[in-house]
């Protein structure tokens, strides 16, 4: 069934209401990773006296960290605790293995593939010229202006703090698209650097496969590792669940977008970061949201949301951020997202809906 959506700015539109919040009980701690921060021989290679950081969720109540040891385990007090991380000093009797974090009487363990290797203190580099020990990109799938920007955690051996040269390399063309400097990076410690996804000229980098190369800024050379590669895209498909296509642009009079069917309640994500331009409810569109895309000169409209989006007008949004749920509000037949892309200067500001919306969605769907 074709349902036309045509909304004139300010015509028959009411603001979306906002719900209240509540206070819940603390959640159980969850661990996702452990890395070495100081006195390190590798990203997850430490010695007694090294500083390590555990990451995950609901960690603000962690008081103790348990390490593998001899016949059982050895403990260390947790410090620098936040909801997503906790730190500890490796005790003298620690052995290679998985770590535990204890909070509210509940224990959480690091994943099996994220064991901490314990080596003798003599294995910790303490002098010499710059030598890259390890480099790991995070996350390995990234998006421009995403919630988690492209980044790299790296370790190097050296005698003093060093300005580190970081190159972003397009693996298809084998060209350096951006060269940056991480000033005064610490040797034999975990350094974390993020890239804004921009080329040297300030434009977002094209979609593709990339890698970080790292070296001394003074030397002017840099090297990559097997873990420093990542994929990067400018847009993300709005639904990360089973979906199918319905009516497209021009299917009926006034139908200026593409319908994407999915179960009601399925989470919707921003295809591109930017700012919320409109958060309204209307008889045809139901609950709808318009986002002014960052560095695109385009607007992106999402309609038939299950409930009003929690995002206020003017709110900053990142690519891939949750913005609402699939619904069938307004004049909709079945649970689906009605999605439109508008040219400059924007949605009902002199721009027009793009007929290529289905092709764009197909492209984003292929890599999301």
Average pLDDT, the chain: 90
**Residue 64: CB partners within 8 Å, gap ≥ 6?**
75, 76, 77, 78, 101, 102
Confidence of residue 41 (pLDDT cuts 50, 70, 90): confident
Cβ proximity of 213 and 178 under 8 Å = no
Confidence of residue 23 (pLDDT cuts 50, 70, 90): very low
Q: Tell me the two tokens of residue 135.
A: 């480099």
In terms of CATH, what superfamily is 30-122? Immunoglobulins (2.60.40.10)
The predicted-structure confidence for 140-167, as pLDDT tens digits, reads as follows 999 999 999 999 999 999 888 988 989 9
Name the H helices within 167-226.
Answer: none
**Residue 24: CB partners within 8 Å, gap ≥ 6?**
none
Domain 236-367 in the same topology as domain 125-233: no
Q: Determine how many CB atoms are found less than 10 A away from the CB of residue 42.
A: 16
Q: In this structure, is the dihedral angle defined by the CA atoms of residues 172, 174, 178 and 180, taken in order, positive or negative?
A: positive
* CATH 2.70.70.10 for the 236-367 domain, yes or no: yes
The predicted-structure confidence for 214-231, as pLDDT tens digits, reads as follows 998 877 678 999 999 999
Distances (CA, A) of 160 to 92, 208, 216: 26, 36, 12
Q: Where are the domains of the chain?
A: 30-122, 125-233, 236-367
Residue 251, pLDDT score: 81
The predicted-structure confidence for 204-213, as pLDDT tens digits, reads as follows 999 999 999 9
DSSP state of 317: E
Q: Is the pLDDT of residue 253 over 80?
A: no
Cβ proximity of 248 and 357 under 8 Å = yes
Residue 4, pLDDT score: 52
Q: Is the pLDDT of residue 287 over 70?
A: yes
Q: Determine how many CB atoms are found less than 10 A away from the CB of residue 266.
A: 21
The span from the CA of 163 to the CA of 217, in Å, is: 6
Helix (H) or strand (E) holding 134: strand 131-138
Architecture of the domain delimited by 125-233: Sandwich (2.60)
**Residue 262: CB partners within 8 Å, gap ≥ 6?**
239, 241, 242, 243, 244, 326, 335, 336, 337
Three-class DSSP category at 357? helix
The span from the CA of 102 to the CA of 106, in Å, is: 6
């Amino acid at each position: 069934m074709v349902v036309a959506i045509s909304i004139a700015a300010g015509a028959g539109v009411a603001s979306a209401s906002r719900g209240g919040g509540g206070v819940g009980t603390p959640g159980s701690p969850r661990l996702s990773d452990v890395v070495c921060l100081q006195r390190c021989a590798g990203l997850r290679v430490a010695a007694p006296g090294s500083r390590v950081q555990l990451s995950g969720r609901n960690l603000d109540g962690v008081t103790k960290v348990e390490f593998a040891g001899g016949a059982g385990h050895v403990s260390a007090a947790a410090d620098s605790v936040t909801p997503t991380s906790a730190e500890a000093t490796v005790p003298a009797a620690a052995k290679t293995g998985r770590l535990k974090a204890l909070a509210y009487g509940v224990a959480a363990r690091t994943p099996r593939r994220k064991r901490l290797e314990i080596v003798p203190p003599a294995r910790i580099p303490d002098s010499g010229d710059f030598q890259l020990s390890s480099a790991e990109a995070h996350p390995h799938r990234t998006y421009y202006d995403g919630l988690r920007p492209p980044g790299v955690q790296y370790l190097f051996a050296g005698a003093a703090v060093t300005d580190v040269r970081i190159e972003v390399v397009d693996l298809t063309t084998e060209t350096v698209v951006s060269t940056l400097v991480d000033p005064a990076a610490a040797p034999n410690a975990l350094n974390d650097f993020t890239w804004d996804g921009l080329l040297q000229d300030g434009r977002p980098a094209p979609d593709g496969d990339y890698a970080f190369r790292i070296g001394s800024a003074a030397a002017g050379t840099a090297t990559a590792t097997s873990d420093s590669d990542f994929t990067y895209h400018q847009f993300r498909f709005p639904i990360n669940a089973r979906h199918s296509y319905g009516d497209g642009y021009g299917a009926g009079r006034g139908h200026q977008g593409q319908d994407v069917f999915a179960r009601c309640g399925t989470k919707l994500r921003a295809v591109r970061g930017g700012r919320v331009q409109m958060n309204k409810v209307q008889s045809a569109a139901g609950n709808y949201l318009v986002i002014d895309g960052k560095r695109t000169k385009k607007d992106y409209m999402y309609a038939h949301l299950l409930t009003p989006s929690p995002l206020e007008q003017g709110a900053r949004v990142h690519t891939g951020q949750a913005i609402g749920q699939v619904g069938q509000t307004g004049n909709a037949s079945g649970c689906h997202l009605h999605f439109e892309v508008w040219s400059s200067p924007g949605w009902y500001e002199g721009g027009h809906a793009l007929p290529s919306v289905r092709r764009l969605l197909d492209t984003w769907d292929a890599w999301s």
